[in-house]
Amino acid sequence: QEAIDGFGADNSLTPNLGSKTTKDTRLFDFGAPGPDASPIKIGKFNFFELPKAWDGKDAKFTMAWDRAAFVAIHPESRDKYAKALADQMAPGGKVLMCTMSYDTSKMDGPPFSLSPEQVADHCGQYFSMEKLDSRDIIE
């Protein structure tokens, strides 16, 4: 919920009151941020139990933001997560993924360490990848 609220605040957007809610699932409809923009809808749900449709439409995503879900998944479930993510993306869909890697002898997860090579191992068969940024934030 914090990420959804932060997205709205950062972009001066408020979800429409008609956002859909079901058991443990909510779709936040932010509408179109400008006259030439596409509507923005953000879903909050159990990723492995995604609905097949929202508002009677195919639930395939054209964009997804993984804001640290992959690093929260136990390493044994990474292949399942990567396949589930790929299955939910529309053809040509894009995923922005935030991960972290660290010395696992000094810390254990979650969040679990996930190197760019590990992302490629799990997601490479489904997506082409490009590293956009890398920062050392641990002192």
Q: What is the pLDDT of residues 89-103, one digit of tens each?
A: 888 999 999 999 998
- As a whole number of angstroms, the distance between CA 65 and CA 86 comes to 13
pLDDT band at 107 (very low <50, low <70, confident <90, very high): confident
21 exposure class (CB count in 10 Å sphere: 0-12, 13-18, 19+): exposed
61, 90 in Cβ contact below 8 A? Answer: yes
Model pLDDT, residue 1 = 74
pLDDT band at 20 (very low <50, low <70, confident <90, very high): low
Phi/psi of residue 34, each to 5°?
-165, 170
Model pLDDT, residue 55 = 60
pLDDT value at 17 more than 80 = no
Model pLDDT, residue 11 = 83
